[in-house]
Amino acid sequence: MRLDRFLCEMNLGTRSQVKAYVRQGLVSVNGAVARDAAAKVDERSDRVFFRGQELKYRKFVYYMLNKPEGVVSATTDKRDTAAVALLGRDCREDIFPVGRLDKDVTGLLLLTNDGDLAHRLLSPRKHVDKVYQVDMARPLDAEDIRQLEQGLDIGEERSTLPARVEVLDAGRILLTLHEGRFHQVKRMLQAVDNEVLKLKRIAFGGLVLDGGLAPGEYRELGEEEVAVLRSAASKHEDLDSCTAEYADAEQEAGVNDG
């Protein structure tokens, strides 16, 4: 890739800023001071230094964000804080949120530039687990739980896929879904005459929210955590052809979680 692009992807500044760094002699490649920002470098083998510090290039990056209320799951937004902006100096132009949590939904949001992994995790043809902590207006009774777990009508052509309910206390459950329809958790609770008061995603694709992250904080994923996500995206079988056709339509509609 071009040297200036390499430097930009290492978060050293804008294209014009990194070109200025090259002109100032602050960048070297394989021991020689770089003179041309447009020169090609091999990010896999060339050794690039900025102000004497070696830059280790990584094609893909993965971050876990504990999304707070009021933040939108986007790369940019004219009115509200975008999730990607919370990465600060770690933000790269190619990073995006994997899926969308509603503005009032908190919890685990994956941020990456790995488009292939994101596509496989979000594909409606896959049964990737999403676990939510749900605070409700009233406790669930046995019939409510039965309906949620067997699948129910939320006003679409097809009922929801079977979910899993774990009661934590009278007004709080863990709800595990295997799909991501528009406002799905809220609509499922409405279908059993209940209401979501607070909603927090605590797990996604086997990745569990780090309890040490305060709202708005993030950290980079470890190799084992990335492997968990890749396994989740690979091991789930495609749905049958009939359901797959519906899944394609669901994907075109731009479904989101929460």
Which three-class secondary structure string do you get for the chain? CEHHHHHHHCCCCCHHHHHHHHHCCCEEECCEECCCCCCECCCCCCCEEECCEEECCCCCCEEEEEECCCCECCCCCCCCCEHHHHHHHHCCCCCEECCCECCCCEEEEEEECCHHHHHHHHCCCCCCCEEEEEEECCCCCHHHHHHHHHCCCCCCCCCCCCCEEEEEECCEEEEEECCCCCCHHHHHHHHCCCCEEEEEEEEECCEECCCCCCCCCEEECCHHHHHHHHHHHHHCCCCCHHHHHHHHHHHHCCCCEC
The dihedral through the CA atoms of 236, 238, 240, 244 has a sign that is positive
Of 4, 90, 102, 116, which one is the catalytic site residue? 102
Task: Identify the H or E element spanning 204.
Answer: strand 196-204
Distance in angstroms (rounded) separating the CA atoms of residues 101 and 107: 9
Is residue 102 annotated as part of the catalytic site, yes or no?
Answer: yes
Show which residues are catalytic.
102
